[in-house]
Amino acid sequence: MRNIVISFGSPWSVAGALALVVWVYAMALPAGSAAGPPDLRVATRDGAPIKLETEELRGPSALPLLATRDRLHEQFRKAFIWFYKARIADGTAVVGRWVVDRGPLRLTMYEITKNATTPRWLRVIGTRVYREGETAEFRSDLRKFAEHVYLVTAEAVTAPDQLNAHLRFMSTQGDAILLQGYSTNWNMSTLRLRMVEKGAGGEKDAEFAKDADWLVSHLIDPQWVVSIRLE
């Protein structure tokens, strides 16, 4: 797994069932306190700001995500997830920065990509623990996909070698796993991710599903989530 300097962009978005998304989990606030979105700064490499617009989630395909958001807001007793979208041209050199207001925090960046003729993959791009006051930074020459999602999580860890269950599992998969798609339950109140685990030692690959609430519950002291959909 690569350790990279990472920063944050924004949102989980739904296009069809769910399209381009970015998650961010970050610093903790006392339960019940009001929390605004993190001050994420995204720009081109020459310094031109990239605007993060609030993502409007509506229509039947957004219902599982909205229900999940509301449950998490209630569970953490504060606004926990923010959704944005950004228009960024293919090939743009992008820089994202965020000043860590509380630490230590483990910041992990995931990427979801899919084109019309290729499968959907979820990858771990990098993970690192930051101290309070440090600036997390991400740089990339953006290659756009039909679906392109960055998942960034931030967890309030107590030691640099603390890894959540997701990171430990992904390390057994070469930090990349086939993401078959998204599903829900009968009343569209749960968002499920369907993935395929690579079989070890010649064993058959196995499909499994986990809902978003379960994924959040297996983070180490998760803080907040920001999601960015690329257009």
In the prediction, which pLDDT does 39 show? 81
**Residues lower than pLDDT 50 in the chain:** 1-34
Q: What pLDDT does 112 receive?
A: 86
The model's pLDDT over 13-36, given as tens digits with 9 standing for 90+, comes to: 333 323 323 333 333 333 334 456
- The structural domains of the chain, with segments of one domain joined by +, span 22-230
The C-alpha atoms of residue 91 and residue 74 are separated, in whole angstroms, by: 39
pLDDT of residue 7: 34
Q: How far is CA 164 from CA 73, 122, 174, 189, 204, in A?
A: 22, 17, 16, 26, 26
Task: Supply 147's token pair.
Answer: 């679906």
83-121 pLDDT, tens digit per residue, is: 888 888 899 999 988 899 888 989 888 888 899 899 999
C-alpha dihedral (158, 161, 167, 171), degrees to nearest 10: 180
The predicted structure's pLDDT at residue 3: 36
What are the helix (H) ranges across the chain? 63-76, 165-172, 212-217
Which residue type is seen at 8?
F
Output the pLDDT for position 35.
53
Q: How many CB atoms lie within 10 A of CB 198?
A: 14
Task: Supply the pLDDT for residue 17.
Answer: 29
**Contact present, 81 and 72 (Cβ < 8 Å):** yes
Only one residue has tokens 């019940």, namely 32
